[in-house]
Amino acid sequence: MAKKLMKGCEALGEAAIQAGCLHFFGYPITPQTEVPEYLSRRLPEVGGVYVQAESEVAASNMIYGCAAAGVRVFTSSSSPGISLMAEAVSYMAGSQLPVVIVNIVRGGPGLGGILPAQSDYWQATRGIGHGDFRVIVLAPSTVQEAADLMIEAFDLADQYRNPVMIIGDGIIGQMMEPVEFKKREKKQLPEKIWAASGAKGRAANKIHSLFLDPVKLEQHNIFLKKKYDEVEKNEQRFELYNTEKPYDLLIVAYGTMARICKTSIALLQEENISIGLARPISLYPYPYKAIQEAARKAKQVLVVELSMGQMIDDVRLAVEGQRPVHFYGRSGGMVPSPEEVCRELKRILAQKT
Amino acid sequence: MQSEVIMAGFGGQGIMLIGKILAYAGMEEGKEVSWLPSYGPEMRGGTANCTVVLSDQPIGSPVVDSPFGLVVLNRPSLDRFAPNLKRNGILIINKSLIDVLSPREDVDTVYIPCNDIAMECGTGKAANMVALGAYIGRSQIVKLETVYEQIKSQFSGNQKLISLNMAALKKGYDLSKKDQTSV
């Protein structure tokens, strides 16, 4: 397939189809409405199912049912809609159902605004709903990466029988960039022998998250924990940028904010100021070790986010107090320019450490 | 080399479309491109703008504070974006709707009566294409022929719209080569 100019939202929709997902249930909300819009047109063309649910609560329970039947399915929403889905996400994690959820984040709390933000980091990386569980969370920073990670998300969901979230801000959703859908090898994945796909000739499969016997529930919790340990061991993803040469300061940023920081780094390079960047791609599992190692090569660390400071918690956990960790963030839909980040970097570098 | 342009005007003037056409043309010529729209709660008659970045390298920030190019189709856009234009950048002003001079002396300002020229081509709606033509002519950021191809695919099948838009683009392109630096 040749390169095509696509909005992030459209690329996510097309990537799902390329990953063999022919089922979508969702509800429109800015800035991700182009996902359902695109699929309402595309899915019927490829023999898929598109349903606009009556609400996000309904959509999230529809994907629960669809995933239980053993087919690939996803939903997409933005911050307030994801909150409405929190209950179902917890049930799906408890029932070990492979689903993909897209969150194109907008400013909050509450109804907030419609412009880009990264203020759902805590919600996404700490499980979204109630109970002892994790959701694999992937954060693209380009439209191409959004498409690639979306395809991978379905494999990860099937492999670990767990919900996977793609988290992007409004810019990732609305921006157009060239995308290429490359032919890829099909991954060997476990057969869905657990699916409620008709019990003719076999015992019925039961999919549920209710364990009234505390012994059994604890066993279930221990089983899930082992699964998350595996995820943490195998699925950490990150990018290091400008870290080959010595650098004075390490920026940690993800998604769109990381791209803006890359431009800031290039601008400061012209003034012989060397800054490194660590960009977590998997927000859960968080690449603690990589961040720690990159931070050790710097004198100090700056976390930049489109929020009042959420990922900084994980950076502090990674750095373990060995380096000062500063924070710079804009919120509510305000996006800093590369020059603005440069000013902040210079301010920090001018301070006595 | 990287070049950024902000295009801005009223909603309904076709700002998003000319940005997309430029981005497509850049991609066709093998450049890295990004197109970022403003997507606030706007409506027809409100303001609209988009940022297009063309580069030989992977694009860092798609968000641009001070672009190299600025194409403004209405007065509020000139007031808002002109102060941040890079020194020696290119400023295309739609003279049909903007009756003031450029506030910047240190940029290459081109005054084009986009709506009037579009009317000559058949419809005032093609004012956006005149402006795009002028920007391409002045900046030489992509080839005119590449943009022709993009117009053909954007208005696929509608020969009348294709020739009208191509004519508007060409007029803007030609005018920008002549001295249009005074009102």
Which pLDDT belongs to residue A169?
Answer: 95
Tokens encoding A41: 């047109």
The pLDDT assigned to B183 comes to 56
pLDDT score at A352: 66
Q: Which residue has the tokens 């509510």?
A: A332
Nearest-CA residue of chain A relative to B51?
A: A175
Residue in B123, B129, B125, B126 with CA at minimum distance from that of residue B147: B129
ipTM of the complex: 0.92
Q: How many residues belong to chain B?
A: 183
CA distance B91 to chain A (A): 21
Q: Which residue has the tokens 């290039």?
A: A266
pLDDT in the model for residue B117: 97
Residue B61 contacts A where some CB pair is shorter than 8 Å: yes
Three-class DSSP labels, B25-68? HHHHCCCEEEEEECCCCCCCCCEEEEEEEEECCCCCCCCCCCCC
The encoded tokens of residue B130 equal 């005149």
Instruction: Check whether B41 has a pLDDT greater than 80.
Output: no
CA neighbor of A337 nearest in space, from A225, A259, A246, A230: A259
Which residues are within 8 A (CB) of B72 and not within 5 positions of it... i.e. 6 or more apart?
A: B8, B9, B78, B81, B82, B91, B92, B93, B94, B98
Neighbours of A183 (CB within 10 A): 6
The pLDDT of residue B179 is 65
pLDDT of residue B178: 80
Contact A114 B35 (CB under 8 A): no
pLDDT at B177 over 90: no
Distance to chain A for B50, nearest Cα, Å:
10
Note the pLDDT of residue A253: 98
- Distance in Å, alpha carbon of A37 to nearest chain B alpha carbon: 16
Q: Does B55 lie at the interface with A, CB-CB under 8 angstroms?
A: no
Q: Hey, are the CB atoms on B60 and A114 less than 8 Å from each other? A: no
CB contact under 8 Å between B60 and A339, yes or no, is no
Q: What pLDDT is stored for residue B42 in this prediction?
A: 67
Cβ count within 10 A of residue A226: 10
Q: What is the pLDDT of residue B146?
A: 98
Residues of chain A scoring pLDDT < 70:
1, 352-353
Predicted model pTM: 0.95
A114: which chain B residues are within 8 Å (Cβ-Cβ)?
A: 39-41
pLDDT of residue A182: 87
Supply the pLDDT for residue B25. Answer: 97
Decide if A176 and B65 are in contact by the 8 Å CB cutoff.
Answer: no
Note whether A170 contacts B39, CB cutoff 8 Å: yes
Angle, CA A201 vertex, CA A195 and CA A206 arms, to 5°? 30
Count other Cβ atoms within 10 Å, centred on residue A240.
16
Distance of alpha carbon A294 from the chain centroid:
22
Question: If pLDDT is split at 50, 70 and 90, which confidence band does B43 have?
Answer: low
Specify the pLDDT at position B181.
Answer: 64
Instruction: From residue A311, give the alpha-carbon distance in Å to each of A226, A249, A303, B12.
Output: 24, 18, 8, 40
pLDDT tens, residue by residue, B110-145: 999 999 999 999 999 999 999 999 999 999 999 999
Alpha carbon B2 to chain centroid, angstroms: 17
* Chain A residues contacting B via beta carbons under 8 Å: 3, 5, 30-31, 114-115, 170-171, 174-178, 256, 259-260, 262-264, 266, 335, 337-340
Mean pLDDT, range B67-93, rounded to an integer: 96
Contact B2, B56 (CB under 8 A): yes
Domains of chain A listed by start with CATH number: 4-186+209-234 (3.40.50.970), 239-350 (3.40.50.920)
